[in-house]
Amino acid sequence: MNVEWIEHLSSWLSDRGFSRSDDREVGGFENILIRFRGEPYEVHVVRERGEWNIGISPAGRSPLMWPYVWRHYLDATTPDPSQLPESLEEQLEFTYRRLDEVMEATRRDAEIENHLRAINRAIISARLGLDPVTLRREKKPEDEKE
């Protein structure tokens, strides 16, 4: 498995004041969490079920959000779940190009966590066909029994 990109990301983040603070296997199945702490953000590299993802969150707080969610917040666009999952290359490109915007947005928007959660909820409900408020399966007229 080629993971040179992790070292490149680590170096890039280090140049911006982040430190690699946690490397561990989580939950078995060779799942991995690598955490980089900076101020005011953490960047997480996660391998789960063989898939690599990058998450960005305010340091020491939730939510951990994927670049796709952040992109829609920053661009004020409506998520299209058919574009998921994002490739690792797309996530890395977002991180390299827009991490400064993410950090600035947090300083500017006191309600950012609520906005990110709403975007994430919309994505989850659309992908799974759930009601966006309750995250329960929507009843269709044909499901109703007479």
DSSP for residue 82? G
Decide if pLDDT at 41 tops 70. Answer: yes
Spatial separation of the C-alpha atoms in residues 97 and 99, rounded to whole Å: 6
DSSP for residue 130? B
Q: Where are the domains of the chain?
A: 4-134
Q: What percent of the chain has pLDDT over 70?
A: 89
Residue 18 and residue 37 in contact, taking contact as beta carbons nearer than 8 Å? yes
**Three-state DSSP class for 123?**
helix
Residue 135: pLDDT band with limits 50, 70, 90: confident
Beta bridge partners of 130: 137
What's the pLDDT at 145? 58
Q: Which H or E run includes 70?
A: helix 67-75
Spatial separation of the C-alpha atoms in residues 63 and 72, rounded to whole Å: 15
Looking at residues 36-50, what average pLDDT do you find? 88
Looking at residues 98-127, what average pLDDT do you find? 89
Looking at residues 14-31, what average pLDDT do you find? 84
Write the CB contacts of 137 (distance below 8 Å, at least 6 apart in sequence).
Answer: 129, 130, 131
Decide if pLDDT at 28 tops 70. Answer: no
Decide if pLDDT at 102 tops 90. Answer: yes
